[in-house]
Amino acid sequence: MLDQLVTIFVTFLVVIDPIGVAPIFSALTRGGNDRYRRRMAFKGAFIATLIMLFFLFTGDALLRFLGISLAAFRVSGGALLFLLAIDMVFARPSGLRSATVREQEEAQYKDDISVFPLAFPLLAGPGTLTTILLTTSGLRPQEQPVLFLSLLGVLLSVLLLTLLTLLLAPLLMKLLGETGANVIDRILGVILAALAVQFILEGLRAGLFGA
C-alpha cells in the first residue's frame, strides 16, 4: 500500500504543480500587499480543497451513475493527463491546469482571484479532478477505510504543500526565476507522462482482457 500511496502523492503533486502555479499567482497578486496575498492564498486553497473533497467522496458514485466503466475512464483520463504532460514538457500554458491568457487578463481586473482563477482552474482544474477520479474509482470507503483515509491524507498533504508554495511565491520566484520554474515543470512533465501511460495501459488491459 505504501508504494501505491507514494505513486498517488507524486501524481497529485505533479498535476497540481505548485511550482508552476507560483509565478501565475505572483503575477495575479502583483501590486497587492502581503496581507492580500495571504488572504487570496488561504481562501483559494480552501475552496480548491472543498472542490477536490467533493470529487474524492463522490467520484466512484458519479462514474457508476453515468455508466462509465473504470477501464474506459482510465484510458480517457490517462490520455488527458498525457496531453497535460506534453504541455508541461514544452512549457506551454494549458487549460487543463492553468488559466488561459484571456482568463488571466480578466482576473487582473478582479479584486478577489481566490475562486477564479486560483481555486479553479489553477489548483482544482480538470487535470486534478481527473486524477482524483482515476485514483478513487472502484474504491469504497466503507470496505477499505484505511486506504481511503490514507488517500485523503495524501491529498491534504499536497494541498498543504501547495498553500505553503503560494505563501512563499515571491521568494520562490526570486530564487528560481521563470527559467528555473520551467525546468522543474519539464521534469515533472516527464514523470506525469509515464504515469499517464501507466493509467492507459491498465485501462486497456482491464478493458480487453478483464484483468
Q: What's the pTM?
A: 0.85
At 38-77, the pLDDT tens digits run: 999 999 999 999 999 999 988 888 888 989 888 999 999 9
pLDDT of 53: 95
Q: CB-based contacts of 170: which residues, under 8 Å, 6+ apart?
A: 26, 37
32 in helix, strand or coil? coil
Could you list the residue range(s) of the whole structural domain that residue 31 is in? 2-209
What does the alpha-carbon distance between residue 44 and residue 7 come to, in Å, rounded to a whole number?
26
pLDDT of 82: 94
Residue 22 CA from chain centroid, whole number: 14
**C-alpha angle 183-184-185 in degrees, rounded to nearest 5:** 90
Tell me the residue type at 182: N
**C-alpha angle 208-59-6 in degrees, rounded to nearest 5:** 80
| Number of domains the chain contains | 1
pLDDT of 105: 62
For the chain, list residues with pLDDT below 50: none
pLDDT of 94: 65
**C-alpha angle 175-118-103 in degrees, rounded to nearest 5:** 105
